Structure 1
């Protein structure tokens, strides 16, 4: 606890000094994202060292991962609103790589547990418990974000802490569900293919594909592709009902994920994946020589 307080104190001194000297709100947002990632990393290490029961440890890791994801993405909203979607995409690309390298078995995403059930690697009871752990982490982290925004260190945080939020859904709910579903399906197909192909820089490639799809869907549904993330950031916001929110961000994303499981088993896709690993390409494949 003392370490966390010391880190927070140093962080606040740095951002106040930077902001007064350079008036760089983007630096303030960047430092907040770094702080959030650092605190989550420390919490994850603490859990791994102190919790011996594997399932309890995984539940805590899921909650931490969801809190880190949602905490960073709350600030990414500020980045997108003030510095553009291109800047947002750069940050998201880098963060996705960081999360892939640090989360371990945690996913912070409910539909991955549904995929495990379909493929015989999990059960419904544990999937529900994992989902509740993720929702708890994603929802509770807003108090942490709100505390920081209330300091109004940067002009971009003025009145944000208690501001009424607005939905990102810019199309009818059915169209939004289709956008979220199709994009989620493509993301999961890409991730599965990269996992089997095991190319060099697979994490960066996966992050690039995911970020590109998020940007493509940004002006339609917001491009969340994760029910916990969407619920943490946008449930109850003006612009859609809770039923529409559930249809777009839960039903749409989960349907796309389930569809990807069955599409990936199709012979045409399996033939491509097996054929790619057998053809002697040049640079990115992990076990091929340049």
Structure 2
């Protein structure tokens, strides 16, 4: 289990370094630059490096270290919980940033900056992890270096089935994100971590269960077995379609494109009580006199 302990230390070291980066950038940069660039950059580095190391344990651990999928799934749950709690609101996922744009929560320049930061952060995380593996601190890393140049595709089913799986995972994740937007982190973080763990356990054997285009690009696009267009269909178009369906189902429309609700009728939450006509109370003087009736205030002849 020495190799597993080294990986756990690596996980905590990555989270600590990214946390230092967040704190420094928050002090040195303006709030807008921090939220668009530094926060997404740090979150993408943290997510990419952790997922790459975890996938290495998932591939090599069962026969190289003697531990099963239960250990890896437990680590995944704990890592995603730690990531969601420490990311300071960063999504590190292009489909989440595009969802915020479609919900009118961010403008075009902000969304473009987030996508750029996610791409740079994911690439940096991939390069840093490969450098860490080259040190061969454990037997796992030694084996990983031997097979890294001949990695195979994570798609182990038909393209249509793979795209449907990635789209379904993305649909469920985004539907949960929309539902829990206003929830307290104490409830939101474990709910998201549990959902990601379940989806990875279910769809992982077929597609790797990325449902994150940037993470999939850094992890599997360079592997042989499928073409670049195949990867685009499964890991980009699938999650994007899942996000759009989740947004349309939850909102009834896509605010950035049209305001009319296509699925749900907009009814007022408050009922307006109908006016009730009360019976005349004895002794009350009527407001209007009948035609021809003289007023009491008129002088008598």
TM-score by length of 1: 0.79
Q: Which residue of 2 aligns with 1:260?
A: 246
Q: Which residue of 1 aligns with 2:140?
A: 156
Q: Kindly name which structure, 1 or 2, has the bigger radius of gyration based on alpha carbons.
A: 2
In structure 1, what is the Cα distance between the partners aligned to 2:111 and 2:229? 22
Decide whether the 8 Å contact of 1:150 with 1:160 is kept in 2: no
The runs of 5 or more residues in structure 2 that have no matched partner are 62-66, 253-260, 265-301
Matched, 1:44 2:30: no
Q: C-alpha root-mean-square deviation of aligned residues, in Å?
A: 2.3
Decide whether the 8 Å contact of 1:66 with 1:138 is kept in 2: yes
Q: Which residue of 2 aligns with 1:4?
A: none
Matches within 5 A, 1:129-278: 129-161=113-145, 163-164=148-149, 165-196=151-182, 201-266=187-252
Decide whether the 8 Å contact of 1:180 with 1:223 is kept in 2: yes
Q: Which residue of 1 aligns with 2:56?
A: 78
Q: Which residue of 2 aligns with 1:102?
A: 86
1:68 to 46, 50, 55: 46
In structure 1, what is the Cα distance between the partners aligned to 2:186 and 2:29? 34
The runs of 5 or more residues in structure 1 that have no matched partner are 1-22, 271-290
In structure 2, what is the Cα distance between the partners aligned to 1:40 and 1:156? 24
In structure 1, what is the Cα distance between the partners aligned to 2:251 and 2:182? 12
More helix per residue: 1 or 2?
A: 1
Matches within 5 A, 1:108-127: 108-127=92-111
Alignment length (residue pairs): 248
Decide whether the 8 Å contact of 1:114 with 1:258 is kept in 2: no
Distance 1:197 1:43, change over 3 A: closer
- 1:27 deviation in Å? 0.6
1:175-217 Cα distance to aligned partner (Å, 9 max, x none): 1111000111011112222335659633212211121011110
Decide whether the 8 Å contact of 2:96 with 2:174 is kept in 1: no
